[in-house]
A and B are shown apart, each in its own frame.
Chain A
Amino acid sequence: MSRLMASKKTVGAVLLLISLQTCLTGCWGKREINEMSFISGIGIERTESGQVELSVQIPLPMQTGGGQPGEANPGKNLVQSAIGINMADALSKLQLKLSNQLFLAHNRVLILGERIVKQGFREEVDFFTSHPGTRLRTYVFATKGDPKLVLGLTAPNERSSAEILREMAVQHREVRGVTLKHIIIASSQGLGGIQIPRIEVTKAQPDKEGQTQGISVNGAVVVRGYKQSGDLSAQQVYPVPWIRNIEDSRMITVPIRKTGGWISFYLLKVHTVMQPRFQGQERIIEFRIKAQTNVIQNGTVLNLMNTDVLERVEEELNKSIEQQVKQTMKAVLRNCKTDLFDFHDLLRRKQPAEWRKLQNQWQEVLPTITIQVSADCTIRRSGMSNAPIGIPKEGVKGK
């Protein structure tokens, strides 16, 4: 009987709760999506006076046409910007310009302007980590010039320029897909660094008044402690995935000196092992790169079915990879003076005694590090054709 009483009261209380809730419906942070503006891309730039200019891209809901409801009307985006003391201030000022409530959670792209990258953007990143609605998986790009221009770009094949950037970032995970998380981790101890892909607005067809503009990624900005420490050209950025053991930068075209011509390879798998050898003044980090490749284009007269020839070609490939990696490392260590590949972590793990000695002067040690690279590539498949096509038999070398 008492149980019946209990459940009676339970039901009564539930009903009371529900009816109370009904009375209160309508407030408490409920947001109707019609009254919201979803931000798809954010650009920040430092003004001359040291304030922050925040620009946002807001995709407009597709207009319901006369006929079919919801028929797409692509490429309609609103770009708005506001200047404030800091991010939060700029955001609240931006909100004043808009009737709808700004909503950050759908933002995926953060574009940093040229000036702010040079002067540092730590506070701005702090906004992103403190705000509950933002996300760490925000892809970060640096731009030459004003980020507003990038946001305002109309894209012929995508909804918005932010969407293009996001897709670029997703497809090339490490070179371009640098997220806020990566930046925070890399900058956390003041030792490491990270490269942020640099984008440019390009005119695909220059004569047509910027009608079909495009975005292209061109090199990277190297950042140390939320501040630009140097630049990498597109060529210098290319080997970065190899060093980081990321599956990207798959194509490599190698000149063959003996016979002339080029052979292009597709890198199936690249694996790099780094080994520090620090001893007194000798500071060496050894890179051992192992790669498996397929030939995809053979622009020489060599017959790649011949194992001797293949070995020679492999050597050329090794040399080419070594050279490219060395160039990148030179740019990173000498020009940018940035520990882009976490050598400090490496040293800490492998030679803790040396690390303790050098810990406090790491920044000075960095440029003095010698990089030794040895590549070991194997060609798994030499293309679909047995011999170079279109060359008479006599012309083919190494039958």
Chain B
Amino acid sequence: MPKKGTISSVQMAAMLYFAIMATAILGPPALMYTFAQQDMWISPIWASFIGAFTLLLVFRLSREYPGQTYVQICITVCGPVLGRVIAGVYVLFYLHVNSIILREFVELVVSKFLYNTPEMVIVAGMMLLCAFAVRGGIEVLGRISQIVLPVILSLLFLLLFFVIPEMNLTFMLPVFEDGLLPSLKGAIPPATWFSEFFLLTFLLPFVRDGKAGKWSAISLGAVMLSMVIVNIFVISLFGPVSGSFGYPVMTFIEYISISNFLEHLEAFVMMIWVVGAFVKISVFFYGVVLGTAQTFKLKDYRPIVLPLAGLHIVFNYWSIKNASMLVYYLQKLDPFYLVTFQTLLPLVMLIVVKARKNWRKQG
């Protein structure tokens, strides 16, 4: 594999879409309902502004330092020592976030499908796959997401089609019952996911066809639209009880009955979803691996892939103790944690960069 792989901007968009939607269809609909009730489908629209802002930050930063990831920018801007410390914090941050994503994945699989399988097998299998993919390089990741995206989307929409007769759109009314506030509050949980668009910083240096801007915007729009659609389905199927299921999407897929013959399709959907989760974890993992390599100026990141995969497995047990803690984490901490690291701190970084530039011009 050539050291510097190239991905097309379409592949980049597909990777970003997976990196966000794969887990965004699990918990967030229920979380959004608790804040926004029947206005929950509006919340992703508000939250997408965070995504747009994050994307803008990444592009601005990469315009200042073309071809550099955020980790490299940190080192360039803050000097080799402080910059490395910041970069290291970011690597740890992504390691932590990714291990929690891994936890979410395992939690769903174990609680819904394989009650008696040792978690270790599921976790290790997943991390091993991700390690293979990341070893293969960014090109392999890009190709996988591009090939898998149309398949997954068409299958999911086919399934959604079968839920349509069960929908009751009156559950969506009244819109803005208590004004804008509930839907704005509901935008807090999805903001977490939208801030994950910051991952673009690890992909952008490999996009060479000059259409990254357009396609990342399309990706953002697709994520927003998907969330809105999912939320419309959830609210119109479950109405006032939307908030009481851990995985509302899985629950309504369970409710599908295709001509009273094909029922209980959730295992099938899980199969599709695992592919999405795989891409998501891989993209985050790629960020961790690339970040580590760049922090320590390694020539080749491949030797550190497997050790870091092992670290993920350990972190995934350390960071979250049980399912309730996971929900608490996702609901209460995650928004601030992720938005801070992925949107606010980069904003500070951009301001620093700009200020310095001006200062230099004047001085």
> A residues touching B (Cβ–Cβ < 8 Å)?
2-3, 6, 10, 13, 17, 24, 27-29, 105, 129, 132, 135-137, 170, 181, 184-185, 188-189, 345, 348-349, 352
Chain B residues whose CB sits within 8 angstroms of the CB of A349 once the complex forms: 170, 173-174
What distance in Å separates the Cβ of A36 from its nearest Cβ neighbour in chain B? 14
Contact A352 B260 (CB under 8 A): no
Chain B residues whose CB sits within 8 angstroms of the CB of A352 once the complex forms: 174, 177
Contact A10 B1 (CB under 8 A): no
In-complex Cβ contact of A6 among B121, B135, B170, B244 (8 A): B135
Question: In the bound complex, how far is the Cα of B305 from the Cα of A10, in angstroms?
Answer: 12
What distance in Å separates the Cβ of B219 from its nearest Cβ neighbour in chain A? 29
Chain B residue nearest in CB terms to A189: B240
What distance in Å separates the Cβ of B206 from its nearest Cβ neighbour in chain A? 18
> B residues touching A (Cβ–Cβ < 8 Å)?
1, 111-112, 114-118, 121, 125, 128, 132, 135-136, 170, 173-174, 177, 237-241, 244-245, 251, 254-255, 257, 260, 263-264, 302
* Contact (A188, B240) CB under 8 Å given A6-B135, A6-B302: yes
Question: In the bound complex, how far is the Cα of B170 from the Cα of A364, in angstroms?
Answer: 25
Question: In the bound complex, how far is the Cα of B323 from the Cα of A132, in angstroms?
Answer: 14
Chain B residues whose CB sits within 8 angstroms of the CB of A129 once the complex forms: 244-245
Question: In the bound complex, how far is the Cα of B240 from the Cα of A272, in angstroms?
Answer: 23
* Contact (A17, B302) CB under 8 Å given A29-B114, A185-B238: no
Question: In the bound complex, how far is the Cα of B136 from the Cα of A27, in angstroms?
Answer: 33
Question: In the bound complex, how far is the Cα of B114 from the Cα of A109, in angstroms?
Answer: 25
What distance in Å separates the Cβ of A20 from its nearest Cβ neighbour in chain B? 9
Chain B residues whose CB sits within 8 angstroms of the CB of A17 once the complex forms: 125, 128
Contact A188 B241 (CB under 8 A): yes
Chain A residue nearest in CB terms to B257: A137
Question: In the bound complex, how far is the Cα of B257 from the Cα of A223, in angstroms?
Answer: 26
Question: In the bound complex, how far is the Cα of B251 from the Cα of A135, in angstroms?
Answer: 8
* Contact (A135, B174) CB under 8 Å given A29-B116, A181-B255, A185-B238: no
Contact A345 B135 (CB under 8 A): no
What distance in Å separates the Cβ of A22 from its nearest Cβ neighbour in chain B? 13
Question: In the bound complex, how far is the Cα of B38 from the Cα of A200, in angstroms?
Answer: 39
Chain B residue nearest in CB terms to A342: B170
Chain B residues whose CB sits within 8 angstroms of the CB of A27 once the complex forms: 116
Interface on chain A toward B: helix, strand, loop, or mixed SS? helix
Chain A residues whose CB sits within 8 angstroms of the CB of B257 once the complex forms: 137
Question: In the bound complex, how far is the Cα of B121 from the Cα of A141, in angstroms?
Answer: 42
Question: In the bound complex, how far is the Cα of B136 from the Cα of A17, in angstroms?
Answer: 18
Contact B241 A28 (CB under 8 A): no
Contact B240 A137 (CB under 8 A): no
Total number of residue pairs linking A and B with CB closer than 8 Å: 64
Contact A29 B117 (CB under 8 A): yes
Chain A residues whose CB sits within 8 angstroms of the CB of B302 once the complex forms: 2, 6
Q: A28-B114, A189-B240 are in contact. List 9 more A-B contacts (CB 8 A).
A: A6-B1, A28-B121, A135-B264, A136-B251, A137-B254, A181-B255, A188-B241, A348-B177, A349-B173
Question: In the bound complex, how far is the Cα of B132 from the Cα of A129, in angstroms?
Answer: 38
Chain A residue nearest in CB terms to B305: A6
Contact B174 A184 (CB under 8 A): no
Question: In the bound complex, how far is the Cα of B172 from the Cα of A348, in angstroms?
Answer: 12
* Contact (A28, B255) CB under 8 Å given A17-B125, A181-B238, A185-B240: no
* Contact (A28, B132) CB under 8 Å given A135-B254, A137-B257: no
Question: In the bound complex, how far is the Cα of B116 from the Cα of A188, in angstroms?
Answer: 33
A/B interface sample: 28 pairs, CB < 8 A: A2-B302, A6-B302, A10-B132, A13-B128, A17-B125, A17-B128, A28-B114, A28-B116, A28-B117, A28-B121, A29-B114, A29-B115, A29-B117, A105-B264, A132-B111, A135-B255, A137-B263, A170-B260, A181-B237, A181-B255, A184-B241, A184-B244, A185-B239, A188-B240, A345-B170, A348-B177, A349-B174, A352-B174
What distance in Å separates the Cβ of B201 from its nearest Cβ neighbour in chain A? 26
Question: In the bound complex, how far is the Cα of B51 from the Cα of A347, in angstroms?
Answer: 37
Chain A residues whose CB sits within 8 angstroms of the CB of B170 once the complex forms: 345, 349
Question: In the bound complex, how far is the Cα of B265 from the Cα of A105, in angstroms?
Answer: 11
Chain A residue nearest in CB terms to B264: A105
Question: In the bound complex, how far is the Cα of B257 from the Cα of A129, in angstroms?
Answer: 18
Chain B residues whose CB sits within 8 angstroms of the CB of A188 once the complex forms: 239-241, 244
Question: In the bound complex, how far is the Cα of B255 from the Cα of A345, in angstroms?
Answer: 24
Question: In the bound complex, how far is the Cα of B253 from the Cα of A136, in angstroms?
Answer: 10
Question: In the bound complex, how far is the Cα of B170 from the Cα of A6, in angstroms?
Answer: 56
The 3 closest A-B pairs by CB, nearest first: A29-B116, A188-B240, A28-B117
* Contact (A10, B135) CB under 8 Å given A17-B125, A345-B170: yes
Question: In the bound complex, how far is the Cα of B136 from the Cα of A28, in angstroms?
Answer: 31
What distance in Å separates the Cβ of A5 from its nearest Cβ neighbour in chain B? 9
Chain B residues whose CB sits within 8 angstroms of the CB of A3 once the complex forms: 1
Question: In the bound complex, how far is the Cα of B118 from the Cα of A244, in angstroms?
Answer: 48
Contact B264 A28 (CB under 8 A): no
What distance in Å separates the Cβ of A363 from its nearest Cβ neighbour in chain B? 17
Contact B174 A136 (CB under 8 A): no
What distance in Å separates the Cβ of A106 from its nearest Cβ neighbour in chain B? 8
Chain A residue nearest in CB terms to B240: A188
Chain A residue nearest in CB terms to B132: A10
Contact B174 A348 (CB under 8 A): yes
In-complex Cβ contact of A28 among B118, B125, B244 (8 A): B118
